């Protein structure tokens, strides 16, 4: 189980990404167009406003590792869900 502070940090980063998305896209377009000042302006944006800095976490446990994008959960949670028959179409094989 992830700490509540770690989950809160991810939520804060997601809000910041939304807030700066348009500005970041405009600066990247200007950078591709050849504007020399665009790179300096892009560097002055907050680091956490970059979408690269987000971490995928399990929706149920908050675990950051072993994340399965298709289901939005970690591998451990996915395995438990399959074991109890909560995921349709997947049968438990020999793990």
Classify residue 22 as left (phi > 0), alpha (psi -120 to 50) or beta. alpha
Q: Is the pTM of this model over 0.75?
A: no
**Tokens 């399959």 sit on residue:** 82
CA distance 18 to 9: 14
Q: Where are the domains of the chain?
A: 1-54, 56-95
**Tokens 């959960």 sit on residue:** 73
Contacts of 1 (CB under 8 A, 6+ apart): 61, 62, 63
Residue 62 or residue 93, greater confidence: 62
For 6, 30, 41, the CA distances from 33, given in Å and listed in that order, are 38, 5, 15
The pLDDT score that the predictor gives to residue 1 is 61
The pLDDT score that the predictor gives to residue 88 is 86
CATH level 2 (architecture), domain 56-95: Irregular (4.10)
pLDDT in tens, 39-61: 999 999 999 999 999 999 999 98
The kind and range of the H/E element at 74 are strand 73-74
């Amino acid at each position: 189980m992830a700490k509540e502070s770690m989950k809160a940090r991810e939520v804060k980063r997601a809000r910041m990404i939304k807030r700066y998305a348009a500005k970041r896209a405009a600066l990247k377009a200007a950078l591709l167009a050849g504007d020399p000042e665009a790179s300096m302006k892009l560097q002055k944006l907050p680091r956490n406003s970059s979408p690269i800095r987000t971490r995928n976490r399990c929706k149920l446990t908050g675990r950051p590792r072993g994340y399965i994008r298709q289901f939005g959960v970690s591998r451990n949670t996915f395995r438990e869900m399959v074991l109890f028959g909560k995921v349709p179409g997947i049968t438990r094989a020999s793990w």
